Amino acid sequence: MKRHGILNSDISRVLSYMGHTDRICIGDCGLPIPDETERIDLAVKFGVPTFMDVLKAVGDDMKIEKIVLAEEIKENNPKVLAEINEYFAGKEIEVEFVSHVGLKEMTKECKAVIRTGETTPYANIILQSGCIF
């Protein structure tokens, strides 16, 4: 049994086979997930687990070189945006903002989408894998 890192077997599996520039998405409970993209559903009830809890767990277990966020988060969810900025502060990570429609389209190319119980608007992020060497 694992002692550290991600305990969820599906998330651990996806992270372990990701290569440089591969992507994974963490989304709120309302984010539509394309049929062709693996769904890892963690949602237990509204608000559980939170978006930030999952982001921190995945982010601590993954080398991230870039994040993609919906432009709409700036006006519609500044609290979560501030928490994202705080979490990534001091790390050399590129940040890209796209339309929410564009972000949803990008999930088709993600290795998986992790669904959280988050209920605040636009609490969605795509993490792009960096190179660990």
pLDDT 10s digits, 27-84: 999 999 999 999 999 999 999 999 999 999 999 999 999 999 999 999 999 999 999 9
User: In this structure, are residues 72 and 28 in contact, taking their beta carbons and an 8 Å threshold?
Assistant: no
4 in a labelled binding site: no
Q: Which of 5, 12, 20, 102 is catalytic?
A: 20
4 is catalytic: no
**Residue that has been written with the tokens 């687990």 in this structure:** 49
122 in a labelled binding site: yes
Statement: the pTM of the whole predicted model exceeds 0.75: yes
Q: What pLDDT, on a 0 to 100 scale, did the predictor assign at position 3? A: 82
Selected from 3.50.50.60, 3.40.1650.10, 3.40.50.300, 3.20.20.70, the CATH number assigned to the domain covering 9-129 reads: 3.40.1650.10
Among 89, 106, 117, smallest CA distance to 125 is for: 106
Amino acid sitting at position 131: C
1 — pLDDT class (breaks 50, 70, 90)? confident
17 in a labelled binding site: no
Among 121, 118, 133, 129, smallest CA distance to 26 is for: 118
100 in a labelled binding site: yes
Q: pLDDT of 85-113, one tens digit each?
A: 999 999 999 999 999 999 999 999 999 99
